[in-house]
Every structure is written in C-alpha cells, then in structure tokens.
Amino acid sequence: VESAFESDGEIRIIASKRLSQENKPVLTDDAPLSEEGESRLALIAQMLDEGRLQLKIGEPRNNSDSGIFHPKLGIATDGNRITFEGSINETYNAWYRNYERFKVHRSWDEVENEYVEEDVKTFERLWDEEHDDVEVTNIDDAIERDILDWQPESDEEVEEHVERL
C-alpha cells in the first residue's frame, strides 16, 4: 500500500465478501490497531477517496454456502509488467508460519510473458464481469445485497422483529 500511495499508483482488488475470523475484529472495530495498522488504513482510505483504489467483490456463480472466491492474483505495471499469484493470504500466519507458494511472472521474459498475458486476460475478464464462473459486483452493490439478505420475507417476520425490540 505504501509504495502504491507514494508513487501515485492505482490498485484494483477483487476480494471475497467472506471475512476470515482473523480479519473480522479489525474490520468491526473490535480489535485495537497498531500505529502502523492505523497508518495503512489511513492510506487506504485516502486512495479510495481519490479513486486510486477500486474494490469489487467476487463470489462463485454456483455459490453454495461453502464456496468462496479465493484466488490471489496481482499485476504491477511500470512499462513492463509482472504478475504474481499464490496461496498466501495477507495475514501474519500466512507470511510467517504457514507453508505457502507464491509465483512471479515477468513480461520481459519470453516464456514467462505467456503467463503474464493469461493472468492479465483473466483479471480483466473478472473485473469487467465477463467471467462465466464468478459473479463480480461493485462494492456498493455487494454491501447493499448483503443488507437486503437480512430483509424479512413476510409481514409476520417484520412483526416478530418489531416485537423483539
């Protein structure tokens, strides 16, 4: 985040709408943040406000309750391109305790460039909501849909909720 912020870079992220147990306290203000964590969130908020960070939500179209959108694919461009992919989550355990794999492909390498082109094509299909297996929505639409999931299905359910309050 810091290098993208300082270089006026842009970031596009497609993430799962499901949070890990490790992330929930941080995102619901139930956990104290370090100064470093607060600073990262401040930069993220600034990039969002400036339109330099764009977020979308992905979930499998055949979504059963157990299925999640889980790929980790990144693309960095500065004239050349690198793509990276792997199993690693952005958590302390993933970086320092787990066994994980992480691959980097470079556009200036003739063999690796084939992987770069395929990674870019896959990401753009997802971002443009053109992937057959994954539904991708803007973050606002996803939040609204999640809230609407709580909407009572009948007048009787509405009354039950009113009585509980």
Q: What's the rounded Cα separation, in Å, for the pair 62 and 70?
A: 14
- Burial string for 15-51 (b: 16+ CB within 10 Å, else e) reads eeeeeeeeeeeeeeeeeeeeeeeeeeeebbeebeeee
Q: Is this prediction's pTM over 0.85?
A: no
Q: What's the rounded Cα separation, in Å, for the pair 50 and 128?
A: 21
Query: Which residues on neighbouring strands pair with residue 85, listed in sequence order?
Result: 73, 103
pLDDT on residue 116: 96
Q: Other CB atoms closer than 10 Å to residue 12's CB: what's the count?
A: 15
pLDDT on residue 142: 65
Q: What's the rounded Cα separation, in Å, for the pair 116 and 76?
A: 10
pLDDT on residue 126: 93
pLDDT on residue 81: 92
Task: Please report, for residues 59, 69, 134, 141, the alpha-carbon distance to residue 137 in angstroms, rounded to integers and kept in the order given.
Answer: 9, 12, 10, 6
pLDDT on residue 147: 59
Residue with tokens 């979504």: 63
pLDDT on residue 152: 63
pLDDT on residue 25: 56
Q: Is 111 exposed, middle or buried (0-12, 13-18, 19+ CB in 10 A)?
A: exposed
Q: What's the rounded Cα separation, in Å, for the pair 73 and 13?
A: 9
pLDDT on residue 76: 87
Q: Which residues of the chain have pLDDT under 70?
A: 1, 18-31, 33, 63-65, 142-148, 150-152, 158-159, 161-165
pLDDT on residue 146: 66
pLDDT on residue 100: 84
pLDDT on residue 2: 72
